[in-house]
Amino acid sequence: MTAPRTITYQGRTDLLSGWSKTNGISVQTMVSRLNAGWSVEETLTSRIHQRGGKLRRQPYRPVKANTVPAAAIATVIMPALKEYERQHRAVEVRMIRAFNEYIQSCVRRDAAIMREIDMQSIGQPAAGTFDTPGVVVDFAEKSSDRSLSVAQDLT
C-alpha cells in the first residue's frame, strides 16, 4: 500500500483526494499525469480531451461572465435590437388598429340592434324588417307567444 500523496500548489498543500474534489479531476487521472511527467500546475489545471484515442493537453480556462466585446455590442447587437423593437412596434400598431376597428364595428352593430329594439318597442317595424316570427311587438295582443306565467301576469 502506498502512502497518500500530497501536492503543494499556489501555497496550498492537500492530498490528491482534496485536489480532486476542488478541481473535479479524478485521483487516478492526476496520478497518471504526475507519473507521465506533467508539472503540478498542468496536472491540476488541464482538462482531458480525447480525440482519436490521443490525449491532448488543454489548460483550464474559466469562462468569463461577459465574453462579448463592447464593440460588438455597439455595432452588431444594438442595431439588431433596435430593428427588432421597430418591427415589434409596427406589429403592435397594426394589432391595435385591427382591434379598434373590431370594437367600432361591434359598437355600430349594437347601435343598429338597439335602434331595431326601440322601433319594435314603440310598435313600428324597423327599416328593412318585417313581421318576424317569434318577435312580439305588442305584448297584450300576442300573449300566446309567452309562457303561461308571463301571459297570466299580462292579463
Cβ within 8 Å of residue 16, ≥6 positions away:
4, 5, 6, 7, 27, 30, 31
- The C-alpha cell at 66 is 461577459
Radius of gyration of the chain (CA): 42
Provide the residue ranges of all domains of the chain, joining segments of one domain with +: 6-59, 70-128
69-79 residue pLDDT tens = 777 777 888 88
Q: Tens digit of pLDDT for each residue in 82-114? A: 999 999 999 999 999 999 999 999 999 999 999
| Average pLDDT in the chain | 75
